[in-house]
Each structure stands twice: as structure tokens, then as C-alpha cells.
Amino acid sequence: MKMLMATAKASLMLAALAPCAGAQAQAYPSKPIQMSVSTSPGAGTDLMGRTIADRLGARLGTTIVVENRPAAAGLLAGQMAKRAAPDGYNLLFTNDNLVLMMALGANKDVNVLTDFQPVSLTSATDFFLVVSGDALGMKSVTDLVRLAQQKPGVLSYATPGIGSPHHLGMELFKQQTGTDIVHVPYKGMGPAMPDIIAGRVQVTMTGFPAVSSHMKSGKLRILGVASPKRSVEQPDVPTLAEAGVPNVEIQGYNYVMAPLGTPPAIVSRLNRDINELLKTPEVQEELAKRGTAAAGGTPEQLMQKLRSEAEKWTAVVKRAGIKPE
């Protein structure tokens, strides 16, 4: 009898708490939200994060305060977000670096697949295979592959550093084509550009904004785009698959995460509002100016993408024998 009374009492307590939980979710947000951004102010991910923060805050009727935590390739922002309260008032805005750092084995403290609750993918940026305008007469992907196979270890490619998507993307390209092209890491694509233009380094794989100003002058030539379909920005440029090199797909991307345990109702609302603002012409035009495109999707789709990316780049790193700096 006592057991039955205790069970009944517990059921009544749960029933009483349920409306409170629902009311709490409906009242969200009741104070400003903190958003940790994994890059320094002015970087592409930061600008995207602020675009989302401003408009998402307006939709939610609150302020979203952006805090830049760029140290250790975004790992500091990940650590802070991982340890934050899972109450909907702490968010992480980050990019592909967290997955790439996992693939490199550079940090054991942050696991993007298990430490966070996915909210939404926000944008994706195509990567292009680019050569110097007069780099040994290379006018197609076929020309590059043929020359690299004929002269192993002679051609070189520039990246903004070890473990960057530019680096791992080129290593995947090498693995798929059986070529030996020497890696030359720089401290950013800006410092690399003069050497690529001059032909001292012949190849790179990067986003369109980094090379757009040099295309019309003929100083740089785009050979292909590393995406499943042709780029809206450069529709005449073939995909690498169309050019004879399949299974080389690289994107830069940004997304929103929340601490593990954030209430599903809050995650659902954040996801819905982010997807709605990504459909607005204003946001799409702003992203297009930066050479990126609005993405969106469900939390489940974001997690699926992160798992797929982690698996792909871990395999590339292992085959190439890449070690973190």
C-alpha cells in the first residue's frame, strides 16, 4: 500500500512539473544569450556569426552577445561552450576547424560529435582548384594531373597552414590522382597570394573570395570546383568529378551548436528561427557578397554531416601521415 501511495505521489509531482517546463520553454528567452565565436573579429566565421546573432536575436526578442575566442584553431571556444550551462543561453558558432582538429588528433578535450547538441548548419563555401595564370601552361585539371604525374615532387601547393581545409583538400586530391605535389604552408592565404601569382608556388585550393580579384587580370586560373555541383559564382567551371577526379569534395562551412543537454524545445526553436532567417533575401545577398551560400537544415542533418566529415578527413590524415603542428 505504501509503495502504491509513493508511486501515486511521484506521478502527481511529475504532472505538476510538466506545465512548468512547458511554460519555461515558452518564456525562452528571458535574458541575453551568449554566443562564443571560434575565430578572431573580422574573420569570415566571425562575420557570419554576427550576421546570425543580430538577426536571430531580433527574432527571439533578445540580444545575442558575441564573444570571440579564436585561440587554438577554435578549440578554446569549443571548450568554453562544452562546459557552459545547457540552458539555451550559451551557444557556439564555429566552422570546419573543430572537425579537422579531431581528424588530426590535435586535441582530446573537445569532441564535436559527442560534446554538443547540434542546432543548425548556417552556410557553406565552395573550394576551387587554382593555378597561377601562366603556371607551366596548365589550363585544365587534366593538364595539372598529367604534369604532376610526369614530374613528381616538382610542383608545389600553398595553404594557410597544416590541417586547414585547403591542406587536407589538396592531400585528398593527391590521393585520388596518385600525384606528388609538395605542400608549402603559409600563415594565411594573404601571404601566399604573391607567390602563387608569381608561379613560385603553382597550385592552391581555396575559396573564391581569396582569388576573385586576380581572376579577371589572368594572374590566376580556376581549373575546377571541389563540390558535388557547379558553383553559382563560376558556372562555367567544371566540378572535379566532371574533370575526371571523383570523390574530392571540400567545403568550408559554419554552424551553431549548443551544450549537450540543452532542452529539445529550445533547440527546435533556435533551429526554426535560424532556418527562417537564412531564407531571407537580405541574408542570402549578404552571404553571396562573401562568396558563401546559406545552408540550413535540421540538427540531425548537421550531425550527419559532421560525422561524415570526421570520417573522411581522419582517413585522409592517416593515409598522408599528417601530424599536427
What is the per-residue pLDDT across 186-243, written as a single tens digit (0 to 9) for each?
998 889 999 999 999 999 999 988 888 888 788 999 999 999 999 888 899 999 999 9
Q: What pTM was computed for the model?
A: 0.87
- pLDDT (0 to 100) of residue 237: 95
- For CATH 3.40.190.10, the residue range(s) in the chain are 126-225
- Can you give the length of the chain in residues? 325
Architecture of domain 126-225: 3-Layer(aba) Sandwich (3.40)
Residues 243-301 pLDDT 10s:
999 999 999 999 999 999 999 999 999 999 999 999 999 999 999 888 899 999 999 99
What's CA 267's distance to the chain center, in Å?
Answer: 20
| Distance of alpha carbon 181 from alpha carbon 152, whole angstroms | 7
- pLDDT (0 to 100) of residue 21: 46
Question: Which CATH number is 27-125+251-320's, of 1.10.150.120, 3.30.110.30, 3.30.70.2740, 3.40.190.150?
Answer: 3.40.190.150
Residues 114-127 pLDDT 10s:
999 999 999 999 99
**pLDDT band with cut points at 50, 70 and 90 for residue 25:** low
**pLDDT band with cut points at 50, 70 and 90 for residue 322:** very high
- For CATH 3.40.190.150, the residue range(s) in the chain are 27-125+251-320
Average pLDDT for the chain: 90
- pLDDT (0 to 100) of residue 268: 97
- pLDDT (0 to 100) of residue 178: 97
- pLDDT (0 to 100) of residue 7: 44
